[in-house]
Amino acid sequence: MSQITYVNGKYLPHNKAFLHVEDRSTQFSDGVYEVIAVISGNLVDPQMHYRRLIRSLTELEMNLPMSVNVLHLNIKEVIRRNQLNSGLCYLQISRGSAPRNHVIPNLIKETVVITARHSEPNGGKGAKQGVSIITTEDIRWKRPDIKSVSLLPNVLAKNQAAQRGAFEAWLVESGEEEIIIEGSSSNTWIVSQSGQVITHPEGVKMLSGVTRNRIIDLARSNGIEVLEKPFTVTQAKTASEAFMTSTSSFVVPVIDIDGHKIGNGKCGPVTIAIQKLYNDFAQRSCGEV
């Protein structure tokens, strides 16, 4: 866990870092967040995360209470003070604290929190061996493209997965078609029997994953065709490969969906190729080849 946490301009011992009880993030989920991977003490793809952060804030009519450059310096300082070599930086910006009222107060100042914690790079054991996932209904609000801290449906879905011994829950749009939108904290991909790499198209229904978007670029520039189109639970279960992507786990092969073995039940060659492309990119972009 973080030893030193940033709260509104102060670097505090983690056990002394607090939000006000009337912070709107706790009462209304009125805030946004980002998670950025750290390798060799450097941030992976920070500009893409800042761009998405600004978009999330803008969609909620909030402001970043400092310039992106100052934010970047603060995050780097949290990394330095925590002596973080490999792990994750968590950044949360809430609307701020004010007497509880659904109506957004005019004069309110955003609350900024930055924490850092150690974790294994490149997704750890699951990324090497592959993981099982479950599917469950997507019961989130209609704007999960905004990276808001309103994550209760995601928490319940992931917890359901954990209770069933699975690593992740893939969220399925209600309706006859059973379209897989994304995971509770990841984007979702399949490789069809004809070798097409498929992931759900961007839009309001899902988060525009930084890892996802980087992988689309890397794959295409390395001759791997990627189709951004919806796919169903049945297509996923009968795919030759499946995988998920996120900042915290990079590329993780999925070898079992709801108890159905995917392909031959082992990490597939296309997934492994994409995983290598992304891991190499992350190392390279952090200055360590």
Q: Applying CB under 6 A, which of residues 23, 114, 212, 286 lies at the interface with ligand PDD?
A: 212
Give the integer Cα–Cα distance in Å for 101 and 269: 53
Q: Give the x/- contact pattern for ligand PDD in 245-284, rule: CB under 6 A.
A: xxxx------------------------------------
Annotated catalytic residue 147: yes
| DSSP per-residue string spanning 97-146 | B-SS-SSPPSS---EEEEEEEE--GGGHHHHHH-EEEEEEE----S-TTS
**111 contacts ligand PDD (rule: CB under 6 A):** no
- Interface residues for ligand PDD in 8-67 (CB under 6 A)? 35
CB-nearer residue toward ligand PDD: 123 or 209: 209
C-alpha distances in Å from residue 161, one per residue of 69, 126, 127, 131, 177: 38, 15, 17, 11, 22
Q: Six-digit token pair at 242? A: 């499946």
Q: What's the min distance (Å) between Cβ of 193 and ligand PDD? A: 25
CB-nearer residue toward ligand PDD: 42 or 248: 248
Task: Kindly name the residue from 76, 109, 147, 158 that is annotated as catalytic.
Answer: 147
Burial class of residue 60 (count of CB atoms within 10 Å of its CB; 0-12, 13-18, 19+):
middle
- Interface residues for ligand PDD in 151-170 (CB under 6 A)? 154
Give the integer Cα–Cα distance in Å for 28 and 95: 10
CB-nearer residue toward ligand PDD: 82 or 246: 246
**198 contacts ligand PDD (rule: CB under 6 A):** no
The residues that are catalytic are 147
